[in-house]
Every structure is written in C-alpha cells, then in structure tokens.
Amino acid sequence: MQKLEQRKKLKLQPKRKCKLSVNIALTGTPGTGKTSLSSKVEYNTVSINDYYAKISNGKDEEDNWLIDLEKLNETIVTKNHSNTIFEGHVAHFLKNIDKIIVLRCHPDELKKRLSSRNYSDEKVRENMEAEALNIICEEAIDAYDKKNVFEVDTSTMTIEKSVEKIDDIINGNIKSNKRIDYSETIMDWY
C-alpha cells in the first residue's frame, strides 16, 4: 500500500456520465412502420399493442382502444427494462424514456399502406389527418425535451435504410433532429 501522504493525494476520478442502458420509445401514426422496424433492430422489444386490453378502458364505437395513460405506465414499467424499444403509437407517453423516435410518412403513402389493411375510409382519413397535423410528434415534444425527440421519414426509404437510421439515433450518431411538417399536404385535399 502507498504511504499515507501519497494516498491523501489520490483522488477518485469523477463519475463517468456514460449511460450503459437506454430505453427508446418508437412511436408514430399507425402505418408509419413501428412494428416492421422494431423487429429488425437488435434491441429488446416491447410491443404496446400486445397490452391494449389491459391498458384501455374498452373501445370506442369505431373499434379504437381507449388507452388510459396511468394504466399504461402501471403495466409497462420502463425502469424494469434495459436496452429496450417500446413500440406503439402511445410509446411517447411512457415515463423514463431516453430517446423518442417518431416515425413519419407522407399522408399519400400512408393512405396506400392503411388502405391495404382492413381499415374503413374514415379511419384511413383520420390517420392521414393526424399525420399531416404532426400530432404524435407534437405530443412527444410536449412530453419530453425536444432535443430527445427524433423523426425518421419512412415514406420512400427502404426498411433496411430506416433500420440504419434508427441504429444511428440510438447510438448517438445523429445529433440533429430535423423537424418534418406535412401540414401543407392538407391543402391538396380540398
């Protein structure tokens, strides 16, 4: 052991601020690609869709789950997870998330994707409107500091390219979080 005088000079290095585990919310309007992409990223994944019955107060007349945000956070406790992607259109309402990735899609492309599902014209339209009005992104920025909210446009990108982009965001290789705004597309609808 070093002499006492020498030991007194020893100082602990300041704690490194490196966070070993990050939890990610992958959110976006239905059809933007959350489920398709989360299955391809090398991270643990929690699909919020699997918990709808547990975290909702029934459904509305259009068959949409009425999600209760308290139940959501009681059921999915992010602190009990590490290196996990929570995917779903309410993922940004989970607590203690490190980064929020909002998937975006041009409303015309979204229309094609949602029409190929069993969705009514009304439901397709509602989702196109939500996307054009940037609703999910604004909710995410309200819930979290905007510097932690990143957007990825999946309209024209391949799934592989989108996966790369998500990896880059998670690994801190993308610092700029450029905002996407589809509100002007609404002008073409009338």
Q: Based on the shown chain and the rule CB under 6 A, indicate whether residue 89 belongs to the binding site for ligand ATP.
A: yes
Helix (H) or strand (E) holding 132: helix 121-132
Site for ligand ATP in 102-131 (CB under 6 A): 113
Q: Which is nearer to ligand ATP, 31 or 107 (CB)?
A: 31
Q: Based on the shown chain and the rule CB under 5 A, indicate whether residue 35 belongs to the binding site for Mg ion.
A: yes
Classify 83 in phi/psi space as left (phi over 0), alpha (psi -120 to 50) or beta: left
Q: Based on the shown chain and the rule CB under 6 A, indicate whether residue 35 belongs to the binding site for ligand ATP.
A: yes
Q: Which is nearer to ligand ATP, 147 or 161 (CB)?
A: 161
Q: Which residues contact 108 (CB under 8 A, 6 or more apart)?
A: 185
Q: Based on the shown chain and the rule CB under 5 A, indicate whether residue 115 belongs to the binding site for Mg ion.
A: no
Size of the site for ligand ATP (CB under 6 A): 17
Q: Which residues contact 68 (CB under 8 A, 6 or more apart)?
A: 55, 56, 57
Which one of the spans 23-31, 70-78, 169-177, 179-187 is the region binding ligand ATP (CB under 6 A)?
A: 23-31
For the CA atoms of 46, 52, 53, 56, the dihedral, rounded to the nearest 10 degrees, stands at 130
Alpha-carbon radius of gyration of the chain: 20
Q: Is 73 in contact with 148 (CB distance < 8 Å)?
A: no
- Minimum CB separation of residue 27 from Mg ion in Å reads 11
Contact set with ligand ATP (CB under 6 A): 28, 30-37, 49, 89, 113, 154, 157-159, 162
Contact set with Mg ion (CB under 5 A): 34-35
